[in-house]
Amino acid sequence: MRSPQVVPDATLPKRVTIYEVGARDGLQNEKAVVPVEVKVEFIRRLVDAGLPIVEATSFVHPTWVPQLADAASVMEALGETGRSMPVLVPNERGLDRALELGLRHIAIFGSATETFANKNLNRSLDAQYEMFEPVVKRARDAGLDVRAYVSMCFGDPWEGDVPIEQVVGVGKRLFELGASQLSIGDTIGVGTTGHVTALLDAFNAAGLGDDVLALHFHDTYGQALANVRAALEHGVTTFDASAGGLGGCPYAEVATGNLATEDLVWMLDGLGIDHGVDLEKLVATSLWMAAKIGKPSVSRVVNALAG
């Protein structure tokens, strides 16, 4: 399999953690409902490819996300391996299900804008903290690790531009509920490199260092890898990505959705940055999954290496 020519950059981090979201964020946005056994095999293949963190599913109500109605069955099938995988929990009932299964890592998903908070959480921007506070407290009291996502950080399809100070205010409040990491989401993929740098500067000024921040880019406008580079130059070392580019963006037409993990790996390989992922196995996994859902991968690297 072809590899990129390695030209290291001594100014960049030497190692990056890839937080794989294809099994959750990817599949929840696909039209097809994937059988439990296929999801479990997909997750196991991702782990075998060397991905250190695989977010497995979400305990959201099946009315809202029918693609993940089988969350408990997936986690039960994964057994002990699944207990160390993060799952998204929207509320205390979701946390109850995670605790019943003995899971050790959860994530909450907040919004940087009023409109999306109302549409996605059925809460106002301020009321979302009241919903998440008992979830995080109970999780931490039970010894669980908590990740916080904040969405619509670079733009909102209803509100347009989102002020940087608003994003930082929301993100900091979510993080200070008791999270160990804050994932900053470009939900509709409109962010650009200067915006990334300015937002990270503002988070740092507010007391959140690059070591507790992650970036979650969508590639709607083809900016995801450039934005990763800007974040690397800033010092961020955790990036969310989805195998094969699984998952569209429901708020932007013709959106390619999540940054493809393979595209990220190719860039990191070219920069000589360690990540621990076997690209050949990952490409094979994405091709396998594409056949299962009857939809070709949008990853440029997958298509180039499979050609």
Instruction: Give catalytic residues, as residue numbers.
Output: 249
18, two tokens = 């890839």
Confirm if 146 and 136 have CB atoms less than 8 A apart.
yes
Helix (H, G, I), strand (E, B) or coil at 170: helix
CB 232 within 8 A of CB 16: yes
For residues 249 and 255, what is the distance between their CA atoms, to the nearest angstrom?
6
**CA-to-CA distance for 6 and 239, rounded, in angstroms?**
20
* Residue 243 CB contacts under 8 Å (≥ 6 apart), including other chains: 20, 22, 26, 46, 260, 261, 262, 282, 285, 286, 289
Phi, psi of 299 (to 5 degrees): -65, 125
